[in-house]
Amino acid sequence: MLVTLHEILSDANERHYAVGAFNCLSLENVMGALEAAEELRSPIILQLAEVQFPEAPMELMAPLFLEAAKRSSVPVCVHLDHGQSLETCVKAIRLGFTSVMFDGAGLPFDDNVRMSKEVTRIAKAAGVDVEAELGKVGDAGDSMADVFTDVGESVRFVEETGIDALAIAIGNQHGHYVHTPQLNIQRLIEIHDAVGLPLVLHGGSGTSIEDFKACIRNGICKINVATAIQRGVMKRIKERLAQNPDEEYIPLKKVMTEASREVVTEHILLFKDPYPTSPRGGEKDPLYLPEGRR
Ligand code: 13P
């Protein structure tokens, strides 16, 4: 069933789990991701980023995402990832996306507030939810100096814009990490205590299990994963071609769907119940930090 971001994230926020948001560039990605979600009876977010439009145009992908979501037996949110302009966000809203991200993280703070607020005003009139970003997530290899989300700015940003979810920068980066990152969980705790809104972790691929757990424990409700799917699919294609260099197209299509399902399954299981021994919905320990980082 097709649902909004708010519907999916409010339950995750209340019960301390995170929902995987998977960047899907093909039919195989979408079919594999939904098979995984249905098998695990888990909500899921299908998303497409504006930088991916050349390979997967939004106008073509929207009907696929939306029809797949409507047919699914689990809650599915169809989300625009990293919308770079008001125009792109409005286009996504008109195409039926149930949430949009406006990415103004590269703008000066006041411009980011003004633009995110404008996107939110328009989206809300259409019943669509909004994610926005503060701090610079950047790409793997970028310098990490002075890019973390500021706690005081997050409070002002959330109050002034009226967004539904805030993407933060705590040492996470998009793409292939050279080294496994050590996320700034202390900063996450401070932001979460200050804003109380569902928080979003971008750059999920390559994060340690320990950091995933600490993030989910401390307010991250949506985790974006793109690179891991692409890598997982490529790995399986190479393996199949190594076994059989003359493999045909249709069996390879099946390999791509199956590999997408595997990667999404692995992540949903990680995000779903990281504390099986703790009472779900019980008091969380606000000081939870990974071993050795207390
Ligand atoms: P990764 O490619 O690092 O998983 O990042 C995905 C992402 O954050 C999309 O917005």
Residue type at 143?
S
Measured between alpha carbons, how far is 13 from 253 in angstroms, rounded to an integer?
A: 36
Q: Check which CATH number belongs to the domain holding 123 and give it.
A: 3.20.20.70
**Model confidence at 145: pLDDT above 70:** no
Q: What single-letter DSSP state applies at residue 68?
A: H
Between the CA of 64 and the centroid of ligand 1 the distance, in Å, is 21
Place of tokens 């390999």: 255
Share of the chain above pLDDT 90, in %: 83
**Residue from 145, 264, 146 nearest 205 by CA:** 264
**Nearest-atom index, ligand 1, CA of 23:** 9
Active site residues: 81
Cβ of 138 closer than 6 Å to ligand 1, yes or no, is no
Between the CA of 166 and the centroid of ligand 1 the distance, in Å, is 15
Round the average pLDDT of the chain to a whole number and report it: 91
Cβ of 47 closer than 6 Å to ligand 1, yes or no, is no
Tens of pLDDT, residues 55-72: 999 999 999 999 999 999
Cβ of 52 closer than 6 Å to ligand 1, yes or no, is no
For residue 46, tell me if it sits in a domain. yes
pLDDT value of residue 199: 97
**Model confidence at 140: pLDDT above 50:** yes
pLDDT value of residue 136: 74
Tens of pLDDT, residues 211-259: 999 999 999 999 999 999 999 999 999 999 999 999 999 999 999 999 9
Between the CA of 137 and the centroid of ligand 1 the distance, in Å, is 10
For residue 257, tell me if it sits in a domain. no
DSSP lists the bridge partners of residue 174 as: 139
Tens of pLDDT, residues 24-35: 999 999 999 999
pLDDT value of residue 225: 98
Residue 141 CA neighbour count, 13 Å, CB half? 3
More confident residue, 284 or 106: 106
For residue 80, tell me if it sits in a domain. yes
The residue segments making up the domain with residue 95 are: 2-231+262-271
Please report which confidence band the pLDDT of residue 272 belongs to, taking 50, 70 and 90 as the band edges.
confident
- Provide the domain count of the chain: 1
For residue 101, tell me if it sits in a domain. yes
For residue 280, tell me if it sits in a domain. no
pLDDT value of residue 138: 64
Cβ of 49 closer than 6 Å to ligand 1, yes or no, is yes
Q: Closest Cα to atom 1, ligand 1: which residue?
A: 203
Dihedral through CA 69, CA 71, CA 72, CA 78, nearest 10? 0
For residue 289, tell me if it sits in a domain. no
For residue 81, tell me if it sits in a domain. yes
Pocket test for ligand 1, best of 47, 202, 270 (most atoms within 8 A of CB): 202
Please report which confidence band the pLDDT of residue 195 belongs to, taking 50, 70 and 90 as the band edges.
very high
Cβ of 267 closer than 6 Å to ligand 1, yes or no, is no
For residue 238, tell me if it sits in a domain. no
Q: Output the CA–CA distances (angstroms, integers) from residue 53 to 83, 107, 186, 227, in the order listed.
A: 11, 22, 36, 16
SS (H, E, C) 114-137: HHHHHHHHHHHHCCCEEEEEECCC
pLDDT value of residue 236: 98
pLDDT value of residue 142: 62
Query: Strands 220-225 and 199-201, how do they pair?
Result: parallel
pLDDT value of residue 144: 54
Between the CA of 74 and the centroid of ligand 1 the distance, in Å, is 23
Share of the chain above pLDDT 70, in %: 89
**Model confidence at 280: pLDDT above 70:** no
Q: Closest Cα to atom 5, ligand 1: which residue?
A: 203
**Nearest-atom index, ligand 1, CA of 202:** 8
More confident residue, 173 or 228: 228
**Residue from 233, 167, 121, 183 nearest 18 by CA:** 167
Integer distance in angstroms from the first to the last C-alpha of the chain?
41
Between the CA of 72 and the centroid of ligand 1 the distance, in Å, is 24
